[in-house]
Structure 1
Amino acid sequence: MFGTILIANRGEIACRVIRTARRLGIRTVAVYSDADAGALHVAMADEARRLGPAPARESYLRIEAIIEAARASGAEAIHPGYGFLSENAEFAEACAAADLTFIGPPPAAIRAMGSKSAAKALMERAGVPLVPGYHGQDQSAATLRREADRIGYPLLIKASAGGGGKGMKVVENAAGLEEALALAKGEARSAFGDDDVLLERYLTRPRHIEIQVFADTQGNTVHLFERDCSIQRRHQKVVEEAPAPGMDPARREAMGRAACDAARAIGYVGAGTVEFIAEGDSFAFMEMNTRLQVEHPVTEAITGQDLVEWQLRVAAGQKLPLRQDQLGIGGHAIEVRLYAEDPSRDFAPSTGRIEHLRFPAGADGIRIDTGIREGDAVTIHYDPMIAKIIAEGPDRGAALARLARALAATEIAGPATNLPLLRAILAQPDFRAGALDTGFIGRHAESLLAPPAPAPGEALAAAIAALLAEEAARPAADPSDPHSPWGTALAWRLNGGGYQDFTLQDGEATHRLRAHLRPDGFRLDLPNGPSEVFALPLPDGRFALGIDGRSLPARVLRRDDRLTVLLDGAAHALRLVDPLAPAGTEGPASGRILAPMPGKVLEVLVASGQLVTRGAVLLVMEAMKVQMRITAPAEGVVGAVRCSPGDLVEDGAELVSMEGS
């Protein structure tokens, strides 16, 4: 076994590898960019080496810098994690040339499956069923249009060298093909340095089922059963579970056999995932990911195996720990991915500092994989995943119940997240019944992506309780007379009952609330009538909110005039309004085109004075390798262009002004 390994990755996968290495007595070396100098994976490792500036191309994708870090630290092997260089054959070859073991498959296997087009051609020759499509090398516009017309619509465009949903677009009809191709190729170029695409018929109600495979250098190949990864947004997985709901033994055996055959066909070694698309009674090969997958914890849960340990042992030349007949399924596991993104804005990435973060500590059957701590920042440079929350149980119902409780106990404040969406998915009747497919979120968008409900009276009461406690804790205005009523910040009135007025903004609604102080709490005039309120501190920093005879734990976080109320498994964003502050002089102007997300401006396609029609593309932005075209909301004349290609812009920054719109 290795004495020292370097982990050529960041975030939760780097932390995940470090945990197993530490258990096996292996010394670990982390690498980091300037943006990650204080990251959790850096703190966890035995040693850390700087790679370069924040952009991945200047740090985590620099093969020569990683090889040099491994040599200088005395590492014998490199674990690539997933993403970045994990499926890069040149990186695997560079490791071998430097006498370093690459903890992954041989370069030839990576190349065989690195191109989706080549992989499909290989599987076609091997007799593995495929979805009808075009996987050829001719990427001319004429050929792609001809092949698209032959396959028929709706059509799916996929980056040939890609993964993770990057460079993937659905085309409903021939009129949308040109724009979708441009976007897909642009994302593929940015994410993978290769803009080749393949075309496939788009199945309307498919399931995404993948098989975990493992092979060693002695010729042994096994599968560790399936995962259902059908719940997706932007063609990226959000919820994964194992085993797949409704999977019968015959199909499991057939898919497992096909996956092992695919691995053997390319001389595979190490961990890999063969992905299939299934509809009705049929299944078809999609692609093979030649690395560990983000969702591997659910497979670990149902098999009782540590897949990172398996990777390390295979890379060290050892046999697979178990034969196929020694592997079995025990229980059920479900994983959700907590992302910094705004589902209500087409899942636009969200950036900023994590101001508060609490996961359910020590909960039965719950595992948290994360590389983020409270106080860390989510930036535009990397994937916006904050954590994976995994629940296991004796059956699917038990795993669902545990996961629902874990999500209700998860608290986060800072960037927008998909936590409400995850809770809504778990509560959706079709999900609970196991009726899954890749269009699940879109089909249930009305209930899953509904705007946040107004803050309930309990949340308003919690906010007022926190503000009153904050004022009570302020030092007296006159230290020589601390009990003077004239210097107190609390509600006090001469010849009358004391009360304090507050104005809270909840979205578009404004609440003017009056709190009447009592010795044991206060009476609060809420929109639906008065309530008796008290608050008692709890040891974990929350307080017990008592309201009209009920008690529930609450937490209120304040940053300037922003209040986040964490109550009953939900977060409510409020703003404290100063009634004496002057009214703002600038309201939203219809002629201002604002950045819908923080990101980088790739192209500016208009100039000042140019006449544009409604829907015309003004510029192209990118954030976290997702491209977005910013279009004109109406016909008009471009006024000022306030950005240039290469600019990094914040969410809400003015990009273009329009006149006559």
Structure 2
Amino acid sequence: MRPSRSLLEEVQRRTINKVLVANRGEIACRVFKTCKTLGIRTVAVYCDAESNGKHVQHADEAFRIGAPPAATSYLRGETIVQVAKDHGVDAIHPGYGFLSENAEFAKNVLEAGIEFIGPPSGAIISMGSKSESKIIMTDAGVPVVPGYHGEDQTEAHLTKEAARIGFPLLIKAVSGGGGKGMKIVRNIDEFSTLLQSAQREATNFFKDDRVLLERYIERPRHVEVQVFCDKHGNGVFFFERDCSVQRRYQKVLEEAPAPHFSAELRKSVGDVAVKAAKAVGYVGAGTVEFIFDTETNEFYFMEMNTRLQVEHPVTEEIILIKGRPLDLVRLQIETAEGKPFDFTQEDLAINGCCIEARVFAESPKNNFLPGSGNLTFVEEPAEGRFGDVKVRLDTGFRSGDDVLVHYDPMIAKLIVWGTDRPTALRGLRKALDDYHIVGISTNIEFLKKCCDNEAFAKGGVTTKFIEEHKETLLAEDKLPTNVTALAALNAVLSAPSNEFSFHVNGSSKANVPFRVHGAAESVSVQEVQRGSYVVSGPTFSHTIKPCAALKPGYSAAHIDGALRVEYKPIVLPHQVAILLPTGTYTLQREPLPEGFGDVKYQAGGASRVLSPMPGKVAKFLVANGATVVQGQNVLIVEAMKMEHLVKAPKDGVIVFSFKEGQMAGADQVLATIETSD
């Protein structure tokens, strides 16, 4: 049905000259970038810990909205709306996360006379509830995964429904997203514990503890469709993205178009996605997510994200509209102004392939636990077009910035386009080699292994990809001995004169203690003649002669008279990093803690249960003084609003050192396991 004349007049009247982004980090910077190309003034909001953040510096104006965490800053919708009213803002862009799918916030923005760059609050309500959205989709003839989406949220009823659906099943927060409040349940015995954990996470993230249950498809692909609707009844789909590479139900690698999708399947999924959007009167950018069952070749509606997605750049990079590139943020702004599309579905074409890698502060080898801390040094890959490859980096961080424990640990999105998929993949692998971060653990090396994986190179992997290939993806590469030697030499040469008993042009040796592959290793450094050093460890001895480097800011050296390397040393009190063309190698200068919360790490008689990261002791799963067995879940640590199960490192009697609700630092002893031996 075409809108009435009065409606058309209403939606065409607003011109946006000033935009506030109710968000932080890279998405705020991303929106500001488009605004500046359109001549639109920009306003940032920030918490106390980010007064000098990159997004703050990229805005024309910036205003403090409170202290971290999100509940006292970026979730303060009334404060953000008041800032917009006080400073002549025409429109608010919510970004993703935080208030982006909060219907009340969208409604309050409009009631304040400010345009909301997003869908109507009614669409947010309909699709923001996973249970209601599935009912709407069923009524619209869109296929959905079988499950329970009802209002009875008592544990007894949910347990009964779980038994009816069968195992394995998935518990999902009704208002959720990004893997928060989502748990796989394998049997009835663990249903209660995981249900309560999902409800707590849902409350923390969305202030809504309601959940739904649905059948868990064992080997799915996660395929989503970027849809867009204007205010005049027009709707299109910008084709699909494959987001199957995930950990903890959060995406790691995304690409467009989806590998091995036929034109017929692409159109079928796209048409269903537009049908889903129109069923709720959608306006603006949205994403309809599907589970694609690789065993039956059927797809099911999973949920709709009523906002711009984190992974939207891969769609932007492959789409041509009548030969011109797509800017989804620009289209969002033009739609908010009431402009109709000047194109149809037939005007859209796919050009090449694009893959996005999310760079996180996290420890892949420790179950991808998120991290925080200072980005002591950041060297980014060069952006731009390089032959058949284009490199783009969307980030909200710079060298010296802090990754805060209060917010999502994503540092950047590395987006690489190629003329075809193999070209894009090679370009991404090269760009990852050129990306160096020192100060905190990241997943960069893990991402490289994903790119090198034969199954991923073929395309079409399922959401089981990481689990099925974890032995190779999470394998720790053997540290080259010449890297250890370079680290030791630079630790000595850059140290204060009183740290080592080492004299240049003397015969004294300096010993540098490292922790290499979990074992203590002492490396000696001796200058044997002017400008030439012998660096020796338990299994190696290298002669290193420093020389002039060609690359500005880098060092160079001849090793054993046969190899010349250019590298950048970053020497910190507790670690030394060596940056090479093949990546970043980091050596710890102090012994590592005895355990880190999981069985594998604490094997070998460790009796301490350590906090895996800074966080709150959320819940004890056993009583103080209880007898536990190795591998048993004993407590939950909450960090960055996610819950992390901590296991017993051995059999024995557990004695807790903390109380529920107390804050613990990384590696602090939460409990001890006492045994008779």
Q: Given the two structures, how large is their TM-score scaled by the length of structure 2?
A: 0.89
Q: Could you give the per-residue CA deviations for residues 207-250 of structure 1, whole angstroms, max 9, x where no partner exists? A: 00000010111111011000000000001100000000101000
TM-aligned CA deviation for residue 111 of structure 1: 0.7
Q: 1:475 to 1:277 in 2, by over 3 A?
A: closer
TM-aligned CA deviation for residue 308 of structure 1: 0.4
- What is the aligned partner in structure 2 of residue 414 from structure 1? 439
Contact 1:77 1:102 in 2 (8 A): yes
Q: Could you give the per-residue CA deviations for residues 73-92 of structure 1, whole angstroms, max 9, x where no partner exists? A: 21011000000000010001
SS in 2 for 1:461: helix
TM-aligned CA deviation for residue 455 of structure 1: 2.1
| 2:452 paired with 1:440 | no
Identity %: 45
Which of 553, 564, 586 is matched with 1:551 structurally?
Answer: 564
Which of 431, 434, 449 is matched with 2:474 structurally?
Answer: 449
| 2:294 paired with 1:294 | no
- What is the aligned partner in structure 2 of residue 313 from structure 1? 334
SS in 2 for 1:328: strand
Distance 1:531 1:121 in 2: 68
Contact 2:29 2:395 in 1 (8 A): yes
- What is the aligned partner in structure 2 of residue 613 from structure 1? 628
Q: Could you give the per-residue CA deviations for residues 425-455 of structure 1, whole angstroms, max 9, x where no partner exists? A: 00000000114110100110111112x2342
Contact 1:92 1:102 in 2 (8 A): yes
- What is the aligned partner in structure 2 of residue 480 from structure 1? none
What does 1:18-37 correspond to in 2, within 5 Å?
18-37=32-51
- What is the aligned partner in structure 2 of residue 584 from structure 1? none
Contact 1:491 1:499 in 2 (8 A): no
Paired residues, number: 634
- What is the aligned partner in structure 2 of residue 540 from structure 1? 552
- Structure 1: which amino acid aligns with 2:487? A
- What is the aligned partner in structure 2 of residue 334 from structure 1? 355
Q: In terms of mean alpha carbon deviation, does 560-569 or 11-20 score higher?
A: 560-569
SS in 1 for 2:349: coil
SS in 1 for 2:359: strand
Contact 2:523 2:535 in 1 (8 A): no
| 2:283 paired with 1:269 | yes
- What is the aligned partner in structure 1 of residue 669 from structure 2? 654
| 2:180 paired with 1:169 | no
TM-aligned CA deviation for residue 527 of structure 1: 4.9
Contact 1:10 1:31 in 2 (8 A): yes
Which of 504, 507, 510 is matched with 2:521 structurally?
Answer: 510
TM-aligned CA deviation for residue 96 of structure 1: 1.0
- Structure 2: which amino acid aligns with 1:458? N
- What is the aligned partner in structure 1 of residue 93 from structure 2? 79
- What is the aligned partner in structure 2 of residue 594 from structure 1? 610
Contact 2:316 2:326 in 1 (8 A): yes
Q: 1:216 to 1:653 in 2, by over 3 A?
A: same
TM-aligned CA deviation for residue 657 of structure 1: 3.7
Contact 1:533 1:545 in 2 (8 A): yes
Structure 2 alignment gaps of length 5 or more:
1-14, 320-324, 592-603
Distance 2:401 2:280 in 1: 41
Contact 2:502 2:509 in 1 (8 A): no
Distance 1:501 1:141 in 2: 60
Contact 1:410 1:569 in 2 (8 A): no
Q: Could you give the per-residue CA deviations for residues 538-569 of structure 1, whole angstroms, max 9, x where no partner exists? A: 34322123223222221221112421222343
- What is the aligned partner in structure 1 of residue 587 from structure 2? 574
- What is the aligned partner in structure 1 of residue 487 from structure 2? 463
Q: Given the two structures, how large is their TM-score scaled by the length of structure 1?
A: 0.91
TM-aligned CA deviation for residue 658 of structure 1: 4.3
- Structure 2: which amino acid aligns with 1:409? D
| 2:150 paired with 1:136 | yes
Contact 2:628 2:654 in 1 (8 A): no
- What is the aligned partner in structure 2 of residue 386 from structure 1? 411
- What is the aligned partner in structure 1 of residue 597 from structure 2? none
Contact 1:552 1:568 in 2 (8 A): no
Distance 1:141 1:501 in 2: 60
Distance 2:67 2:509 in 1: 54
Q: Could you give the per-residue CA deviations for residues 484-530 of structure 1, whole angstroms, max 9, x where no partner exists? A: xxx9831414xxxx765544432314143343433453344455554
Distance 2:559 2:153 in 1: 66
Distance 1:605 1:241 in 2: 40
What does 1:198-347 correspond to in 2, within 5 Å?
198-280=212-294, 281-303=297-319, 304-347=325-368
TM-aligned CA deviation for residue 321 of structure 1: 4.3
| 2:429 paired with 1:404 | yes
Q: CA RMSD in A?
A: 2.3
Q: 1:342 to 1:97 in 2, by over 3 A?
A: same
Q: Could you give the per-residue CA deviations for residues 79-109 of structure 1, whole angstroms, max 9, x where no partner exists? A: 0000000001000110011111100000111
TM-aligned CA deviation for residue 641 of structure 1: 2.9
TM-aligned CA deviation for residue 572 of structure 1: 2.6
- What is the aligned partner in structure 2 of residue 481 from structure 1? none
Q: Could you give the per-residue CA deviations for residues 173-229 of structure 1, whole angstroms, max 9, x where no partner exists? A: 222212221111111111111111111111111100000010111111011000000
Q: 1:503 to 1:56 in 2, by over 3 A?
A: closer
TM-aligned CA deviation for residue 32 of structure 1: 0.7
- Structure 1: which amino acid aligns with 2:558? G
- Structure 2: which amino acid aligns with 1:315? A
Distance 2:201 2:521 in 1: 42
Q: In terms of mean alpha carbon deviation, does 141-150 or 212-221 score higher?
A: 141-150
Distance 1:407 1:576 in 2: 25
Which of 615, 626, 631 is matched with 2:642 structurally?
Answer: 626
- Structure 2: which amino acid aligns with 1:505? R
Q: 1:283 to 1:640 in 2, by over 3 A?
A: closer
Distance 2:265 2:539 in 1: 56
Q: In terms of mean alpha carbon deviation, does 43-52 or 312-321 score higher?
A: 312-321
- Structure 2: which amino acid aligns with 1:613? V
Q: 1:537 to 1:504 in 2, by over 3 A?
A: farther
Which of 18, 22, 36 is matched with 1:4 structurally?
Answer: 18
Distance 1:138 1:577 in 2: 53
- What is the aligned partner in structure 1 of residue 11 from structure 2? none
Contact 1:368 1:389 in 2 (8 A): yes
TM-aligned CA deviation for residue 127 of structure 1: 1.1
SS in 1 for 2:666: coil
SS in 2 for 1:489: coil
- Structure 2: which amino acid aligns with 1:650? G
Q: 1:119 to 1:561 in 2, by over 3 A?
A: closer
Contact 2:557 2:566 in 1 (8 A): yes
TM-aligned CA deviation for residue 535 of structure 1: 2.4
Q: 1:537 to 1:70 in 2, by over 3 A?
A: farther
- Structure 2: which amino acid aligns with 1:388? K
SS in 2 for 1:219: coil
Structure 1 alignment gaps of length 5 or more:
478-486, 579-587
